[in-house]
């Protein structure tokens, strides 16, 4: 009886983070629900105990239902029948189990039937589901849309849709179109107000829509005729039961094959406006996107966990030259670095989740009463940190999920290339994570502001001043040196008054900062539990060498060198 | 027309004999319970699922777990609550100790008389004793009809229940009038997982003896909520003849327990030749090892 939660002590470790007490108290608003709902916690220990026990349910479902189904789901995939999607048999089974277990609407308030869980355990659940089957992680994870409805929609919409999410109706976020991918301000799907019916009508095409045949759809559409930019876009909610959206086809993909990626045709599809007109992209999609990026972060860490476990298992079974291959330096080094990257990205994931928890909880408290000046400052700081950390966690964990899947397959050798081992699927599933919900390149665009404004540096300095055990001071010392080099590199790049030059080096700078931050987070983890000292040490060694590369590249780079790389843009391409 | 049902599910806490190690038996030949984790008897979970499906389709249906065992068997009632049952009773008393299937089914039928259900559902057999006797004996003692080896309830109408039975050579569909006893096979649907809300609601549920024996922060909280009190019945709470409880009421005596080690002489050597493999296949199909 595999349990993906109880077999992984890291999750419990992060669940027991000292800040959780505060997060729970804020989220539960002083435990006001305790006399109203029989499943509400009475105090913070009770709440944490519930988190722990509910995660155990998820771990059980992941280990005993979702993971065993992953192979057949990958093989079978969904199909389109009469304009609607039919999930693979295993997908339906997974979905049913999670509905029966009451695991939809985890973060929604109890008044809508939700569990009112904070982000940390919710993100953990997403990590667990993705470790079992990354593709299914999308279908389950799209309950995130409910969070956007809860935050921005009117009471009527909330009352209508949120209880349905809790009952297991699925969601989708319909943003991308054939000519609007990374550049969402080009969205063309038309929304026109129909006075007679008192509804908005949606017309047009959406493409690459994950779980596109969902029961509840959040659709980005152009409500302001004649506009061409983000300010003409609004956000709508559409109910599948209206039968005005057809799935034209599902994509034949490299990975996450169980998750249907749909091309949709909207024909006079009646929809309700979410929030205010014209704020669709600027405010709501941005918020939804942040949630989705954290979701992909969780998905990627789940994939890292799966890749690591498959590799470690195989390396302990496979014997060559008379010994099991884990005993070869080339293999144990690979595995140890994989684990350190897994731990580093996981620490970053839960640090980010805690910031999100803090600012969101204050946001909801502010609906009931005015926040004190001190609370407002705390909320603002948490939000700033979350805004910087979210693209960072998306960037690193998705890249690591690919690196780890690659390394894990490499450890499997020829067997890994065959369909006989799960790593072949994991390798394909990982590939999308650096692409959707904003490519790695776009995460850098989102994160670079945190570098140029100095936010990253102030966070690093904050970590630097944490108390460290004497035996760990050598690591802290090295991190201080790395921070100095990072500062130097930032100064060099930003002193050139050329946006393109900053863009050119942006990824290097963001990665340098990220490496330092993850090293500190692991070192801080090691103060709470010695087991993490190993990963801190290994990750730091890796991070230092990676940062050295970037440092010397930047320091030896002349402003005019940009031309070397730009030359290619002028080369003619045969049609 | 359907209507709500009052269901009692019989469940037993058993040592997990599926992963038996060397220390699974004591030198006296009894099960070494300390060496094996205590679990919900697997087929009883299938029984619970059958009951839960009836509840899904017949609103207003209530499910009560009934289990007999030591104090820690309250875990079985809690597990049932986490998965969707409405309540439960733990039959526990030193006087019940040492019961064979006859004494067990006697005590259980006395308890069922107090609960007065429309339907009693139990797993076919427990993995520790493998007798498959308790369910049928309960039915006999209560004077109720029984449907054994059930796999699925096909319908419930006009006070009649139609059940598909899984037998050795096929399936059989039978109909029975309520009240009756059903015992469920492992081929029935797997039990649904715990439900998050049910778990959070019932995680502090305790029997009175648990409340009294544990120094618990939630004692007061538990006592303030009725649903957190798991009913506990002793010999005096059920109307029965004490002579028929426990060891006194158990005619079964274990004479001897032996370890059976399969010997090499029971194995067969075949060559790679097709005819030999074919004859083996035929033999296996004929004695229903496969197919």
ipTM of model: 0.92
Interface test with A, best of B82, B191, B197 (most A CBs within 10 A): B197
Q: Which one of A39, A65, A101 has the shortest CB-CB distance to B201?
A: A39
The pLDDT of residue A547 is 98
Which token pair is A530? 């010695």
Q: How many residues does chain A have?
A: 575
CB atoms B200 and A39 under 8 Å:
yes
CB atoms B192 and A100 under 8 Å:
yes
Reported confidence tier of residue A119, pLDDT bands at 50, 70, 90: very high
CA Rg value for chain A: 24
H or E stretch at B180: strand B180-184
| Cα A17 to chain centroid, rounded | 20
* Cα distances (Å, whole numbers) of residue A370 to A118, A315, A373, A374, B102: 21, 57, 9, 11, 68
Question: What sign does the CA torsion over A203, A211, A246, A160 have?
Answer: negative
CB atoms A38 and B193 under 8 Å:
no
Q: How many CB pairs under 8 A join A and B?
A: 50
CB proximity B189 to A under 8 Å:
no
Residue A383 neighbours by CB under 8 Å, 6+ apart? A355, A359
Which token pair is A262? 């749909």
Set of chain B residues whose Cβ sits within 8 Å of the Cβ of A1: none
Reported confidence tier of residue B291, pLDDT bands at 50, 70, 90: low
The pLDDT of residue B279 is 86
Choose between B253 and A542: higher pLDDT: A542
Choose between B40 and B279: higher pLDDT: B40
Report pTM.
0.92
> pLDDT, tens digit, for every residue of A516-563?
999 999 999 999 999 999 999 999 999 999 999 999 999 999 988 999
Tell me the nearest-neighbour CA distance from A69 into chain B, angstroms.
15
The pLDDT of residue B48 is 98
Residues A531-559 as b/e (b if ≥16 CB within 10 A, e otherwise) read: ebbebbbbbbbbbbebbeebbeebeebee
Q: Strand, helix or coil at B156?
A: strand
CB atoms B196 and A100 under 8 Å:
no
Reported confidence tier of residue A130, pLDDT bands at 50, 70, 90: very high
Reported confidence tier of residue A435, pLDDT bands at 50, 70, 90: very high
Query: Is A502's pLDDT higher than 90?
Result: yes
The pLDDT of residue A407 is 98
Which token pair is A171? 């969601």
Cite the beta strand spans of A275-419 per DSSP E: 319-320, 323-324
C-alpha A176/C-alpha B115 separation (Å) is: 59
Burial of B244 from C-beta contacts in 10 A (0-12 / 13-18 / 19+): middle
Return the minimum-mean-pLDDT range out of A111-115, A232-236, A349-353, B37-41: B37-41
The CATH code of domain A440-565 reads: 1.20.120.470
Q: How many distinct helices (H) and strands (E) make up chain B?
A: 8, 12
C-alpha A46/C-alpha A40 separation (Å) is: 9
Return the minimum-mean-pLDDT range out of A11-15, B23-27, B58-62, B239-243: B23-27
C-alpha B291/C-alpha B287 separation (Å) is: 9
CB proximity B193 to A under 8 Å:
yes
pLDDT, chain A, mean: 96
Set of chain A residues whose Cβ sits within 8 Å of the Cβ of B39: none
**Backbone φ, ψ for residue A366 (5° rounding):** -65, -20
The structural architecture, per CATH, of the domain A171-280 is: Beta Barrel (2.40)
Mean pLDDT on B43-66: 97
C-alpha A413/C-alpha A418 separation (Å) is: 10
Cβ count within 10 A of residue A188? 15
Return the minimum-mean-pLDDT range out of A55-59, A560-564, B278-282: B278-282
CB proximity A28 to B under 8 Å:
no
CB atoms A41 and B200 under 8 Å:
yes
Set of chain B residues whose Cβ sits within 8 Å of the Cβ of A50: 199-200, 203
Mean pLDDT on A453-468: 97
The CATH code of domain B6-249 reads: 3.40.50.620
Beta strand B6-10 with B119-123 is parallel
| Ranges A209-223, B118-132, B200-214, B265-279, most confident | A209-223
CB proximity A419 to B under 8 Å:
no
CB proximity A48 to B under 8 Å:
no
> pLDDT, tens digit, for every residue of A138-154?
999 999 999 999 999 99
Residues A307-322 as b/e (b if ≥16 CB within 10 A, e otherwise) read: bbbbbbbbbeeeeeee
> pLDDT, tens digit, for every residue of B184-220?
999 999 999 999 999 999 999 999 888 888 766 677 7
CB proximity B37 to A under 8 Å:
no
Return the minimum-mean-pLDDT range out of A194-203, A282-291, B32-41: B32-41
Q: Which residue has the tokens 């798991």?
A: B230
Interface test with A, best of B48, B193, B218, B220 (most A CBs within 10 A): B193
Set of chain A residues whose Cβ sits within 8 Å of the Cβ of B228: none
Which token pair is B41? 């008897």
Q: In B70-218, which residue ranges form alpha helices assigned H by DSSP?
A: 74-83, 101-115, 134-142, 196-202, 208-213
The pLDDT of residue B119 is 97
The conformation of residue A285, written as its DSSP 8-state character, comes to I
Contact A275, A283 (CB under 8 A): yes
Query: Is B51's pLDDT higher than 70?
Result: yes
C-alpha B259/C-alpha B236 separation (Å) is: 40
Tell me the nearest-neighbour CA distance from B184 into chain A, angstroms.
21
**Per-domain residue ranges of chain B:** 6-249
Interface of A with B in 85-104 (CB under 8 A): 97, 100-103
**Per-domain residue ranges of chain A:** 9-165+282-434, 171-280, 440-565
Contact A365, A359 (CB under 8 A): no
Contact B46, B123 (CB under 8 A): yes
H or E stretch at A85: strand A84-86
The pLDDT of residue B287 is 80
**Backbone φ, ψ for residue B207 (5° rounding):** -85, 165
C-alpha A473/C-alpha B257 separation (Å) is: 63
> pLDDT, tens digit, for every residue of B57-108?
999 999 999 999 999 999 999 999 999 999 999 999 999 988 889 999 999 9
C-alpha B135/C-alpha B133 separation (Å) is: 6
Mean pLDDT on A397-417: 98
**Backbone φ, ψ for residue B79 (5° rounding):** -60, -40
Tell me the nearest-neighbour CA distance from A445 into chain B, angstroms.
39
Interface test with A, best of B38, B56, B190, B200 (most A CBs within 10 A): B200
Interface test with A, best of B18, B39, B85, B196 (most A CBs within 10 A): B196
Q: Which one of B195, B218, B227 has the shortest CB-CB distance to A101?
A: B195
pLDDT, chain B, mean: 89
> Which candidate, A216, A220, A241, A51, places its Cα nearest to that of A146?
A216
Query: Is B41's pLDDT higher than 80?
Result: yes
The structural architecture, per CATH, of the domain A9-165+282-434 is: Up-down Bundle (1.20)
Contact B243, B110 (CB under 8 A): no
Mean pLDDT on A412-416: 97
> pLDDT, tens digit, for every residue of B119-176?
999 999 998 888 899 999 999 999 999 999 999 999 999 899 999 999 988 999 999 9
Choose between A312 and B20: higher pLDDT: A312
The pLDDT of residue B271 is 82
CB atoms A101 and B201 under 8 Å:
no
Return the minimum-mean-pLDDT range out of A68-82, A446-460, B72-86, B95-109: B95-109
The pLDDT of residue B30 is 65
CB atoms A38 and B201 under 8 Å:
yes
C-alpha B66/C-alpha B43 separation (Å) is: 15
Reported confidence tier of residue A416, pLDDT bands at 50, 70, 90: very high
**Backbone φ, ψ for residue B98 (5° rounding):** 75, 15
CB atoms A49 and B203 under 8 Å:
yes
Residue of B nearest to A48 (CA): B200
> Which candidate, A243, A242, A262, places its Cα nearest to that of A252?
A262
């Amino acid at each position: 009886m595999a349990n993906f939660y109880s077999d992984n002590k890291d999750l419990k470790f992060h669940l027991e983070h000292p800040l959780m007490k505060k997060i729970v108290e804020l989220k539960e608003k002083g435990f006001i629900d305790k006399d109203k709902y029989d499943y509400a916690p009475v105090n913070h220990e009770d709440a944490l105990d519930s988190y722990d026990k509910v995660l155990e349910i998820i771990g059980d479902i992941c280990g005993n239902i979702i993971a065993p189904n992953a192979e057949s789901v990958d093989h079978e995939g969904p199909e389109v029948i009469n304009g609607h999607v039919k999930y693979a048999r295993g997908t339906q089974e997974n979905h049913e189990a999670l509905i029966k277990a009451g695991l939809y609407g985890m973060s929604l308030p109890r008044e809508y039937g939700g569990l009112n869980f904070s982000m940390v355990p919710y993100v953990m659940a997403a990590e667990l589901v993705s470790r079992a089957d990354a593709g299914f992680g999308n279908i389950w994870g799209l309950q995130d849309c409910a969070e956007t409805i809860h935050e921005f929609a009117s009471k009527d919409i909330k009352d209508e849709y949120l209880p349905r999410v809790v009952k297991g109706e699925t969601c989708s976020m319909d943003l991308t179109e054939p000519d609007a991918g990374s550049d969402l301000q080009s969205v063309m799907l038309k929304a026109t107000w129909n006075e007679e019916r008192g509804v908005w009508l949606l017309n047009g095409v959406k493409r690459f829509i994950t779980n596109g045949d969902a029961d509840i759809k959040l659709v980005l559409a152009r409500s302001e005729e004649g506009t061409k930019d983000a300010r003409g876009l609004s956000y709508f909610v559409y109910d599948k039961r209206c039968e005005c959206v057809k799935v034209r086809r599902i994509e034949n993909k490299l990975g996450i094959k169980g998750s249907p990626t749909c091309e949709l045709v909207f024909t006079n599809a009646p929809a309700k406006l979410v929030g205010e007109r014209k704020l669709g992209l600027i405010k709501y999609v941005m918020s939804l996107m942040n949630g989705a990026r954290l979701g992909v972060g969780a998905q990627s860490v789940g994939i890292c966990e799966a890749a690591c476990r498959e590799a470690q298992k195989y390396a302990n079974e496979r014997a060559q030259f008379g010994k099991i291959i884990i005993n070869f330096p080339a293999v144990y080094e690979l595995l140890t670095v994989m684990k350190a990257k897994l731990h580093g990205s996981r620490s970053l994931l839960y640090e980010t989740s805690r910031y999100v928890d803090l600012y969101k909880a204050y946001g909801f408290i502010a609906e009931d009463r005015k926040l004190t000046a001190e609370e407002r400052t705390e909320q603002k700081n948490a939000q700033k940190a979350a805004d910087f950390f979210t693209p960072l966690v998306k960037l690193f964990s998705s890249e690591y999920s690919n690196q780890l899947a690659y390394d894990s397959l490499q450890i499997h050798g020829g067997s890994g290339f065959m369909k006989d081992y799960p790593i072949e699927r994991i390798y394909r599933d990982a590939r999308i994570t650096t692409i959707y919900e904003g490519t790695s390149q776009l995460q850098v665009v989102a994160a670079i502001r945190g570098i140029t404004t100095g936010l990253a540096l102030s966070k690093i300095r904050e970590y630097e001043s944490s108390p460290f055990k004497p035996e760990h001071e050598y690591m802290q010392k090295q991190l201080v040196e790395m921070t100095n080099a990072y500062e130097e590199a930032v100064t060099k790049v930003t002193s050139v008054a050329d946006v393109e030059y900053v863009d050119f080096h942006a990824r290097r700078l963001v990665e340098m900062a990220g490496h330092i931050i993850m090293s500190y987070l692991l070192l801080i983890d090691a103060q709470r539990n010695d087991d993490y000292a190993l990963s801190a040490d290994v990750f730091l060694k890796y991070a230092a060498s990676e940062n050295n590369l970037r440092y010397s590249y930047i320091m030896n780079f002349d402003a005019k060198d940009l031309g070397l790389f730009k030359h290619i843009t002028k080369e003619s391409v045969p049609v | 027309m359907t209507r709500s049902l009052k269901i009692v599910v019989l469940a037993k806490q058993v040592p997990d004999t599926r992963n038996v190690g060397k220390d699974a038996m004591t030198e006296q030949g009894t099960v070494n319970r300390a060496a094996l984790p205590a679990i919900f008897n697997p087929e009883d979970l299938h029984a619970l699922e059958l009951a839960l499906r009836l509840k899904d389709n017949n609103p207003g249906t209530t499910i009560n777990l009934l289990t007999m065992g030591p104090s820690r068997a309250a875990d079985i009632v809690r597990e049932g609550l986490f998965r969707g049952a409405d309540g439960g009773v733990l039959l526990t008393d030193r006087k019940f100790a040492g019961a064979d299937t006859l004494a067990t089914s006697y005590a259980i039928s006395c308890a069922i008389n107090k609960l007065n259900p429309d339907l009693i559902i139990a797993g076919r057999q427990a993995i520790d004793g493998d007798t498959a006797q308790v369910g049928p004996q309960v039915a006999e003692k209560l004077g109720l009809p029984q449907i054994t080896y059930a796999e699925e309830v096909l319908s419930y109408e006009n006070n009649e229940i139609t059940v598909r039975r899984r037998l050795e050579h096929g399936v059989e569909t039978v109909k029975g009038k309520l009240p009756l006893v059903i015992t469920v096979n492992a081929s029935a649907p797997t039990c649904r997982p715990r439900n998050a809300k049910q778990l959070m609601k019932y995680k502090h549920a305790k029997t009175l003896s648990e409340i009294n024996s544990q120094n618990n922060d939630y004692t007061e909280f538990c006592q303030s909520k009725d649903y957190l009190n798991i009913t506990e019945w002793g010999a005096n709470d059920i109307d029965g003849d004490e002579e028929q409880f426990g060891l006194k009421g158990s005619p079964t005596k274990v004479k001897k327990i032996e370890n059976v080690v399969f010997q090499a002489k029971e194995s067969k050597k075949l060559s790679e030749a097709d005819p030999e493999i074919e004859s083996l296949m035929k033999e296996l199909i004929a004695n229903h090892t496969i197919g």
